[in-house]
Structure 1
């Protein structure tokens, strides 16, 4: 399996519901390093996994749409605990949609999977992987 990973970051504010979250139930900020990995079993006709420039551009757009926002106020996240795991899924699903609509280039049609990892710090991170 071949893979290419691109990186960006998001800076958000949010709060959680539920005792399991302790003090994070209060409004707080979070900064995540975001890694998006694209996978395929064989290279395309240009010997690449995905156009890195388009992948970076799309990831940056997705991250930009989330950054500097209080996710508690965003209609897409109403009533949802926007955990690190959940946000990884949101980003992966948006990248999958970009692969499907052609905005990652024609070669992206051969992608078979996407994994997104959000690094909360140097000691904790969460990922979501999906098939395409």
Structure 2
């Protein structure tokens, strides 16, 4: 299996519901380094997994919809705790939509999976992996 990873970051504000979150139940900020890893079993006709430039542009576009936002105010997250895990799935699903729409180029149609990892810090991160 071949893979290519591109990276960007986001800064958000949010709060959580539930005692398990302790002080994070109050509004707070979070900065995430975000990795999007694309997979395929064979390289395309150009010898690549995916066009890195297009993959970088699409990650930036998807994150731009979340960056500098209070996620508590975003209708897509109404009633949802925007945990690192939930955000990883959200980004992966939106990137999968970009692949399906052809925004990563025709060669990207051969991709079979994507993993999105949000790094909360140098010692903690969460990932979501899905098929394409």
Hey, which bits of structure 1, 4+ residues long, moved more than 6 A? none
Q: Is residue 3 from structure 1 mapped to residue 3 from structure 2 by the alignment?
A: yes
Residue 90 of structure 1, CA deviation: 0.2
Secondary structure of 1:46's aligned partner: coil
- 1:89 aligned residue: 89
Give the distance between the partners of 1:96 and 1:69, measured in 2 at CA. 22
Query: Where in structure 2 are the equivalents of 1:58-97 lying within 5 Å?
Result: 58-97=58-97
For residues 61-98 of structure 1, the C-alpha deviation after alignment (integer angstroms, 9 at most, x for no partner) is 11111010000001111110000000000000001011
For residues 12-42 of structure 1, the C-alpha deviation after alignment (integer angstroms, 9 at most, x for no partner) is 0000000000000000000000000000000
- 1:100 aligned residue: 100
Secondary structure of 2:65's aligned partner: helix
Residue 99 of structure 1, CA deviation: 0.7
- 1:111 aligned residue: 111
Give the distance between the partners of 1:114 and 1:127, measured in 2 at CA. 10
CA RMSD of aligned residues (A): 0.4
User: 5+ unaligned residues in a row in structure 1: which ranges?
Assistant: none
- 1:42 aligned residue: 42
